[in-house]
Amino acid sequence: MHRAESRDSMLVKSYVLLPLILSAFERDATIISTNLRTPAPYLEVLDLAAAVATVDLRDVRTEMRTRGIKVYDQQRLDVGIEAKFICRGYHERMLLLNDIIAAQAAIHMRRYLGLDISAFKSYEEQYRLKSDPSEASITPPTS
């Protein structure tokens, strides 16, 4: 049985998360524009963050094409989002739980907004998945 490499899985995860982040930025911009007296500075920050996220999504799609990965089905379930994809000819499935989606999206949104995310440990560091102690440096999550 073929399993997608971790880089492949990260690409699919980003492919699912980035549109959700872009939707959140759009929703927040609508709320800010109608509820604040001077929304322009806030909207400018959100627009810049959305522009960077859009570039990241384009880059993710390009790399997925290069690596032979195609998401062909996404379904929202009660527990999260299921993505079915083909990775170099093999059918794969990924389930992103709602709690994971919310946490990862919040970290990515903070990064896009220019906030410090150094307090958030990477998945490997948090769960000590790497066996070599020299690899255990704290690295911020990447998209």
Euclidean distance between CA atoms 34 and 32, whole angstroms: 5
Q: What's the DSSP call for residue 129?
A: -
Count of domains for the chain: 1
Using the structure block, give the residue that is written with the tokens 């399993």: 3
CB atoms near residue 141 (< 10 Å): 15
**Contact assessment for residue 15 and residue 64, using Cβ atoms and an 8 Å cutoff:** yes
pTM of structure = 0.80
pLDDT tens track for 71-99 = 999 999 999 999 999 999 999 999 999 99
How confident is the prediction for the chain on average, in pLDDT?
86
Which domain covers residue 19, as residue numbers? 6-135
On whether residue 141 sits in a domain, the answer given is no
On whether residue 1 sits in a domain, the answer given is no
